[in-house]
Structure formats: C-alpha cells, structure tokens
Amino acid sequence: MRLSIIGAGYVGLVSGAAFAEFGHDVIIMDIDRERIAKLQRGIVPIHEPGLDRLLDKNSDRISYTSNMEEAVREADIHFICVWTPPLEDGSADLSAVRAVARELGKQFVKLKVKTPIIVTKSTVPVGTGVAIQRLVRQSYKGDFSVVSNPEFLRESQAVADMLRPDRIVVGSNDPDAAKTIAGVYHDVNAPIIMTDLATAEMIKYAANAFLATKISFINEVANICEIVGADVERVAEGIGHDPRIGKAFLKAGMGYGGSCFPKDVRALHQFSNASGYDFKLLKSVIEVNEQQRQMIVDKVNKHLKILNGKNILVLGLAFKAHTDDVRESGALDIIERLQIQGANITAFDPLALLNAKKKLNDLVILVGNAHEGAVGADAIIVATEWPDFKELDWERIQSVMRKPLIIDGRNLLDPSEMRKLKFIYEGVGR
Ligand SMILES: NC(=O)c1ccc[n+]([C@@H]2O[C@H](COP(=O)([O-])OP(=O)(O)OC[C@H]3O[C@@H](n4cnc5c(N)ncnc54)[C@H](O)[C@@H]3O)[C@@H](O)[C@H]2O)c1
C-alpha cells in the first residue's frame, strides 16, 4: 500500500519505519523543514532505540517531504500523527489536526484523488474523526473515509511496540475503510479490535487514564505506608502477583509525566466535563500526581529547613529512563519548585541534557556526570529511574557532598545499602 505519515515525531517516525518494514511504500511529511532536511540526510532527530536502524534498513521504501501536495500524490492512505498538546483548560489543542484535515481536503481536490482514507494516529478526543470529515468535506466533495487507529507505543521501546503491538484498534463508521486499515498490519500477530470511530477514540483515553490511575493509586498507598510504617515496594509486590491487578504500573514515586499521561488524563477529564459528566476519579488522579511532586520538595525541606543558598543535585531530567524526552517531566517541575525557594540546582541526565537545556533557566548548572554535580551538594534528588544511577560510586559521592542526603523520587536505590554508606536516605513509601 502507499501510505503518507503526516507529522515526523515519535509516533510518525516509528509508525513510518514500521509500515515500511511491513512492506508498504511510505512518505513522511512534516511542516518542520529542518527536521525533514535532517531525515533526508539520514539524521534521525529523536532518540528512540532501534529507530535509525529500521529507517535505514527500509530507506528504499521511505521518502521525506515538507510538501503536502507531494505526500498526497504519493499515497492513498494518510496517517495524521501530528501533536495534540494541552491547552490552558486541559483540552487537546487540535489546531494542527484541523490544519492537516483542511490541507488534505484542498489537495484531494487539486490532485483529483479517488477514495482516499484519512487515519488519526494522534490522540484526539471523541468527535474529532467526525470533525475531520466535516473539514475535508468543506473543499472535497468526493468519497473518502476517516478511520481512528490510536497508537499505544511507549517511548524508549516504541520500535518494538510498533512491530509487535499487544493489540491494534481500528475504528470507523465505514467498515470497508476499517478493513483496509486493518490490512496495513497484515503481518502483525496481534488481536485487532474493530469498532466505530467514537469508541476507538475513547479506547486511547481510557487506556492512558487507567494507567495513570494505577500510578496515583500506588502513590496514595505509598503515602499511607509512610505514616503507618509499611513498605510500599513489598505491598506492590504482594498485590502485583494477583493477575487481576498485575505488576505493571505499581511503582510508587514522584508521579507520572511525559508527553501523554498528564495531557490525556486532563483532556479526558475536560471533555467529560464538557459533555456534562463529572469524572470525579480522574480529578483525584490529577491531584495526587501534583501532590507527589510537592512531596519530594517537602522531604527536602524537612531535612534542609531553609533552601535558600543550598546546593541540590537533581539526577535525571527525562520524564522516564531510556529517553531524551523532557516533556512534562517531574524533574523540571521539582527544579522550578526548589528554585522558588532559592536553592542552587545542578543537574545531570545521561541522555536528556540537550532537551532540558531548552526548557530550564540559565541558573541551573548542567553537568556531564553525577560525581561532578555532587561536589558540595546538600542533597541529591533521584528524579529519573535511570539504571545507571544504581551503579554510581556512591561511596565517593558521599565523600564529596556537604550533607549526605538522598531523596529517591523513584525508589531506585537500596535504602539499607545507602544507609550503610552513611547517607540520610528517603524514598517514597518505604
Ligand atoms: N509520544 C508518545 O509516546 C505517543 C504515544 C501514543 C500516542 N501519541 C500521540 O501521537 C501524537 C503525536 O505525538 P508525538 O509524540 O509523535 O509528537 P511530536 O511532538 O514528537 O511530533 C509531532 C510532529 O508533528 C509535526 N507537525 C505539527 N503540525 C503539523 C502540520 N500541520 N503538518 C505536518 N506536521 C506537523 C511537528 O513538526 C512534529 O514533528 C500526539 O497526539 C500524541 O498524544 C504519542
């Protein structure tokens, strides 16, 4: 099949590479000319393990363009993979999706296209597929279909998730178009959930909201564990073996972040409200997540009392390990809260320093390794669960700190080992 991918971000590039691997001809389009120019030169603009290899391996089936006309000419099925960032009120900003829909409509007319299919892979609120239909119809009067095919990939393992998904959701009010889109995944061994547009759009939000709920749930359990003297890590283990609960997403810590969970939970809450339904549980999920971040700051305050002039090393800036993505990263939020109190922040991340630099103010000193940042520190906050941090020479780090305090926002380190090394150690719920 001939596919266009509109939006060359995490979802677009990984989908494009995987579709080419499945044997399709793929044209990847983005309005960011610089990004496209890089891709044309073989430079992958994001860090995602295995992505450069997959793009390279399938390079004879993949082309890049910043021209929508070319994308429409070279493909019959158009996957919208553009961003849908949050607006002030929590709702999803659909301006990029709408712009793409309008432009597709115009190009369909100009190129006299026959029966194209538009697929949303971007995460969009229920009703967006129908809105896209209306926007395209403003210029294009021929037959076309809209399909929702939400994406569930996880950054840092996105390539594996795309090549071997645990399920594929295809929603459309046109069964033939839905069948065609299911066919894009002909070689993939995964259950395919065929449904209508609205249900497919809802599945994506329900999935992310459920996972976020699990995280906020275990964080609340962690907080009560601290009060009554229980260990949340063992509680998570004790409940996780129950297959009805499952082990995943039971890691207590400083809350969820990233480009998806915070925005999707808020968007579901917002569009529930707008539809006249008060989704009470989600309000609490959001509140608990914010509270977890403040709790890390409170723990620092508890030990250091006054933060003005204190040196704090933040270990980890990415929103999770194995990625360079700092969007809605808890680390950045905590740094801001500490700076308000006058703390001097030094920070290190194995992969995300460049992206973090764009978002942090000049007062934050970024260092090339943890040891350098620890010199003279009054506290270290572990903000990302990078496994590398476990392997640091903690004895040496302890010896160069002004106060050997560790606040482990990810429960990454072994409390008894840290205490043996004469650290004051605080995790979350243990
Ligand atoms: N990142 C994830 O882990 C993930 C997982 C599942 C779903 N999603 C959803 O997929 C969508 C894309 O996410 P992402 O992380 O890939 O975003 P991203 O920010 O990495 O990439 C978005 C790309 O879209 C391009 N773009 C914006 N407007 C455009 C336009 N009018 N025409 C062409 N290109 C345009 C941008 O230049 C950018 O390169 C979002 O809705 C997101 O919620 C993301």
Domain boundaries, the chain: 2-195, 205-284, 292-426
**185, two tokens:** 């995944």
R_g (Cα) of the chain, nearest Å: 23
Most informative mutation of 5, 6, 11, 35 for ligand 1 (most atoms within 8 A of CB) = 11
Which numbered atom of ligand 1 lies nearest the CA of 123?
A: 41
For 109-191, where are the E strands, in sequence order? 117-120, 145-148, 168-172
So what's the pLDDT on residue 194? Answer: 98
| Beta strands 405-408 and 379-382, pairing class | parallel
So what's the pLDDT on residue 161? Answer: 97
So what's the pLDDT on residue 424? Answer: 98
Strand order in the sheet with 311-315: 365-366, 344-348, 311-315, 379-382, 405-408, 424-426
Using CB atoms within 10 A of its CB, is residue 152 exposed (0-12), middle (13-18) or buried (19+)? Answer: middle
CATH class of 2-195: alpha beta
Give the Å distance between the CA of 338 and the centre of ligand 1. Answer: 31
2-195 matches 292-426 in fold: yes
Give the Å distance between the CA of 101 and the centre of ligand 1. Answer: 15
The CATH code of the domain at 292-426 is 3.40.50.720
So what's the pLDDT on residue 187? Answer: 87
Most informative mutation of 82, 98, 121 for ligand 1 (most atoms within 8 A of CB) = 82
Residues known to be catalytic: 260
Residue nearest to atom 36 of ligand 1 (CA): 7
Give the Å distance between the CA of 8 and the centre of ligand 1. Answer: 7
Say if CB 331 and CB 338 are below 8 A apart: no
Give the Å distance between the CA of 81 and the centre of ligand 1. Answer: 5
Tens digit of each residue's pLDDT, the chain (430 residues): 999 999 999 999 999 999 999 999 999 999 999 999 999 999 999 999 999 999 999 999 999 999 999 999 999 999 999 999 999 999 999 999 999 999 999 999 999 999 999 999 999 999 999 999 999 999 999 999 999 999 999 999 999 999 999 999 999 999 999 999 999 999 899 999 999 999 999 999 999 999 999 999 999 999 999 999 999 999 999 999 999 999 999 999 999 999 999 999 999 999 999 999 999 999 999 999 999 999 999 999 999 999 999 999 999 999 999 999 999 999 999 999 999 999 999 999 999 999 999 999 999 999 999 999 999 999 999 999 999 999 999 999 999 999 999 999 999 999 999 999 999 999 999 9
Interacting residues of 407 by C-beta distance below 8 A, sequence separation 6+: 296, 299, 300, 379, 380, 381, 382, 426
CATH class of 205-284: mainly alpha
So what's the pLDDT on residue 217? Answer: 98
Q: What is the largest CA-CA distance in the chain?
A: 73
